[in-house]
Structure 1
């Protein structure tokens, strides 16, 4: 009985932690889904060690390719990894509440906000912070690819950048080609191992 009570208390603590941390992350991450990744890394990987850095990058890839907001999808995946189905419900609910409240307030007071110089300055400052977080995430993802010591994957990054930034090739086309090339590489490696 005492052991069961301890397990129940432990579960409640994890559920409460998921609620609070996802409310916090969702409240203070402006600028899109990729900004959530460094925050989830800090709290779920570095502080609590619920999963590894590689697990986080895999979850980020799944969150990006799944329909819906990346931030919500990643919160759901992290919640599932930590506490199963109830973890998903808690994490998604906590990730949705702050944007709904903020959007409701902004909508209600739109004319006041749009003409306020302080609000405009704060939003401009947030843009710089979001850009820095996204650059940090890109550096982390690239360093993980370089750690795999795959010349093929390492050269794909600058080629894709060059194709989009310099040659103005459509991103969807670049992603499609990269996916096709990676799938072919996997098939080639499987064939080679047989």
Structure 2
């Protein structure tokens, strides 16, 4: 029984790694407009289609990927890969994510002058920006909805204040992310302390 279960896990792992590679490769190959675009596509792929994560976990992955140094797609592929298959999964995820840009940019670099002089390509890239803007707007709406679903005043308030700080006062996004991180840590520690006090009070009442 145990041998069969272990054999099934061993046989399913290569399939899962292949699925991870193909998913990352495809998402990276057809994503234009920056890291925020791929976030929406990752959500549809890994949450809705493959059901590897739930929406809350994907939101956490997005937040960590955005706040960590480096490109968002690479950071996300490391976390998703590690979550599914450890270090090997992270390596597979990184390879799948980095291969398409390397191939495409290499081709563009070789024919750079031809691309710059081609008016058709220039127009196509300008039109593509409209689609990219729509996808990014969709990502923002989904993230905002997930924050509002928590029904926590602190989270919703931080979201609104952060938007005002960026839009109206042009404050650095990194400063805002770091500030929210500090507030989040303090909030988590406060909740932990409250939970411990509540547990100790309950234990004392039960002893009486």
TM-score range, shorter chain: 0.7 to 0.9
TM-score normalised over the length of structure 1: 0.88
TM-score normalised over the length of structure 2: 0.82
Distance 1:184 1:118, change over 3 A: same
Distance 1:7 1:179, change over 3 A: closer
In 2, the alpha carbon distance for the partners of 1:7 and 1:177 equals 42
What displacement does 1:95 show?
A: 0.5
Corresponding residue number in structure 1 for 2:33: 31
Report if the CA contact (8 A) 2:62-2:76 is conserved: yes
In 1, the alpha carbon distance for the partners of 2:24 and 2:97 equals 6
Q: Structure 2: give runs of 5+ residues left out of the alignment.
A: 198-208
In 2, the alpha carbon distance for the partners of 1:135 and 1:15 equals 31
In 2, the alpha carbon distance for the partners of 1:22 and 1:74 equals 10
Alignment match of 1:123 (pick from 103, 118, 125): 125
Is 1:71 the counterpart of 2:73? The answer is: yes
Corresponding residue number in structure 2 for 1:86: 88
In 2, the alpha carbon distance for the partners of 1:182 and 1:5 equals 42
Alignment match of 1:133 (pick from 125, 132, 135): 135
Corresponding residue number in structure 2 for 1:104: 106
Corresponding residue number in structure 2 for 1:44: 46
In 2, the alpha carbon distance for the partners of 1:8 and 1:174 equals 44
In 1, the alpha carbon distance for the partners of 2:12 and 2:61 equals 25
**Over alpha carbons, which structure has the higher Rg?**
2
In 1, the alpha carbon distance for the partners of 2:133 and 2:167 equals 17
Query: Can you list the C-alpha shifts for 1:111-150, whole angstroms capped at 9, x where unaligned?
Result: 1001112211221122222211111111111111111112
How many residues are treated as equivalent by the alignment? 194
In 1, the alpha carbon distance for the partners of 2:56 and 2:31 equals 22
Q: Structure 1: give runs of 5+ residues left out of the alignment.
A: none
In 1, the alpha carbon distance for the partners of 2:18 and 2:175 equals 43
Query: Can you list the C-alpha shifts for 1:11-65, whole angstroms capped at 9, x where unaligned?
Result: 2211211111111001011121121111111111111111111111111112122
Q: Which moved more, 1:163-172 or 1:89-98?
A: 163-172
